[in-house]
Amino acid sequence: MEQALINLDSLNLSEEELFSFVDNSAATTEKITAPRYSYWKSVGRVFFKRKINVILLALLLVVILFAFVIPLFSPFDMWENLTEAGAKNLTPFQAISKWGFHIKWILGTGQQGESTFNAIWYGSRISLSLSLVCAAINLVIGIVLGAIWGYSKHFDIIMTEVYNIVGNVPYILVISVLVVITGAGFWPFVFALTVTGWLGIAYFIRTQVIIIRDREYNLASRCLGTNIIRVTIKNILPFLTSVIVTLAAAEIPSYISMEVFLSYIGMGMSDTTLGKLIENSQKVMAINAWEFWSPVLLSSIVTIVLYVLGQNLGDASDPRTHM
C-alpha cells in the first residue's frame, strides 16, 4: 500500500509554525512518570493480602477491646462475695444457679467468690499494659544505644565490657532481686523488667549495624562530613525496619509470658494479672477447672496472636516482598 506524501508548501505555514525546539529543562528530564511508591502503603497491602492476618488482627482487637472496656461497665471486685457462704470456687452452672444468669458468672467464681469473667479481663488489661510499656522502653533504649554501639568503635569498647558483665547474670535472678527490693507493684515491676532488658536488644542491633555500616553509601556519607548520628538515623535504621519489627514481634508477647512465669513461681505482681490468676487457681483446678483454664487460654491466645502478627508484619516490612 502506497503512503501519500504531504506537500508542506500546501499548508501555507511558516518554518517557525512547522518546527519548534523542545524545552530541555532539568526539571522536565528528571520528572518520573511512574506511580509514586509509598513504603508503608506497600507494607499494608502485603500484610492485609493474607486473610489469616486479618482474622488474627480482628481477634486481637476484640481481646484488647474487652480488656479495656469490660472493666468499665462491669468492675472487678475481689471481695464482692467474701462473706457469702458457698460462693467460692463455683463452676459456671453453680454460679448461674445461685445468682441467676449474668455475663459475669459465665466462668464461675474464684477463691474469694469473685467473678472469674471480670477477673480475667481486669488481669489481661494489666498484663497487656505491662507488656506494651516494657516493650516500648526496652526497644527504644535498645535500638538507639545498639545503633550507636555498632557504629562508634569507642562506644563499642565500653558497651562490650558492660555486656560481658551484665549479660552473664541470669535475667530471672536480676528480676527476682529487684522485685524483692523495690516491691511487686506495676511500676517497680516495669523497672525490674527494663533495667537490663534492653541490653540483649542493643547487642542484636549492634550486630546488624556492623554488617551494613561499611557499605559504600555510608562511607560516602562519612567522607562528605556527615556525623555518625545522622548516618545512623538516615542510612542505617531505615534499612533495619523489617528487623526491628520482627524484634518487636518477639518482645511484646515475651513480657506476658515472663509475667505469667514469675507469678507461677511466686515472684509476680501484687495486683491481679493473668499470671496471678493462674497462680491462685492451680490449687483448685480439680474443683473448678474454668477458673484455671480461662486465664491460661486467654494468655495463650494473646501471646500466639501477637507473635504471629508481628512475624507476618516483619515479613511484610521487607521491601523484597513488595514486588
**pLDDT tens profile 139-180:** 999 988 898 888 778 888 889 999 988 888 888 888 888 888
Query: Residue 121: its pLDDT value, please?
Result: 92
Query: Residue 20: its pLDDT value, please?
Result: 66
Q: What is the Cα–Cα distance from 126 to 36, expressed in whole angstroms?
A: 43
Quick one: DSSP state of residue 240?
A: G
* Structural domain includes residue 139: yes
Q: Across residues 5-13, what is the average pLDDT?
A: 68
Nearest partner of 251 among 316, 297, 199, judged by Cα: 199
Q: Across residues 190-199, what is the average pLDDT?
A: 90
Q: Across residues 266-276, what is the average pLDDT?
A: 82
* Structural domain includes residue 208: yes
Assign 234 a pLDDT band (cuts: 50, 70, 90): confident
Mean pLDDT is highest, among 32-41, 117-126, 164-173, for 117-126
* Structural domain includes residue 26: no
Query: Residue 1: its pLDDT value, please?
Result: 47
Q: Across residues 198-225, what is the average pLDDT?
A: 84
Q: What is the Cα–Cα distance from 207 to 168, expressed in whole angstroms?
A: 18
Range from 21-35, 147-161, 242-256 carrying the lowest mean pLDDT: 21-35
Q: What is the CATH number of the domain that holds 133?
A: 1.10.3720.10
Copy the grid coordinates of residue 136. 516500648
* Structural domain includes residue 83: no
Assign 283 a pLDDT band (cuts: 50, 70, 90): confident
* Structural domain includes residue 206: yes
Q: Across residues 232-251, what is the average pLDDT?
A: 80
Q: Which residue has the higher pLDDT, 7 or 60?
A: 60
The percent of residues above 70 in pLDDT, for the chain, comes to: 89
* Structural domain includes residue 221: yes
Q: Which amino acid is at 108?
A: G
Q: How many domains does the chain have?
A: 1
Query: Residue 288: its pLDDT value, please?
Result: 81
Q: Across residues 212-216, what is the average pLDDT?
A: 79
Burial class (CB in 10 A: 0-12, 13-18, 19+), 176: middle
Q: Across residues 267-283, what is the average pLDDT?
A: 83
Range from 17-21, 28-32, 50-54, 295-299 carrying the lowest mean pLDDT: 28-32
Residue 155's domain comprises 39-74+97-322
* Structural domain includes residue 5: no
Per-residue pLDDT for 69 more than 60?
yes
* Structural domain includes residue 247: yes
CB atoms under 10 Å from CB of 234, counted, come to 12
Per-residue pLDDT for 232 more than 70?
yes
The percent of residues above 90 in pLDDT, for the chain, comes to: 13
Q: What is the Cα–Cα distance from 202 to 208, expressed in whole angstroms?
A: 10
Query: Residue 323: its pLDDT value, please?
Result: 64
Per-residue pLDDT for 260 more than 60?
yes
Per-residue pLDDT for 316 more than 60?
yes
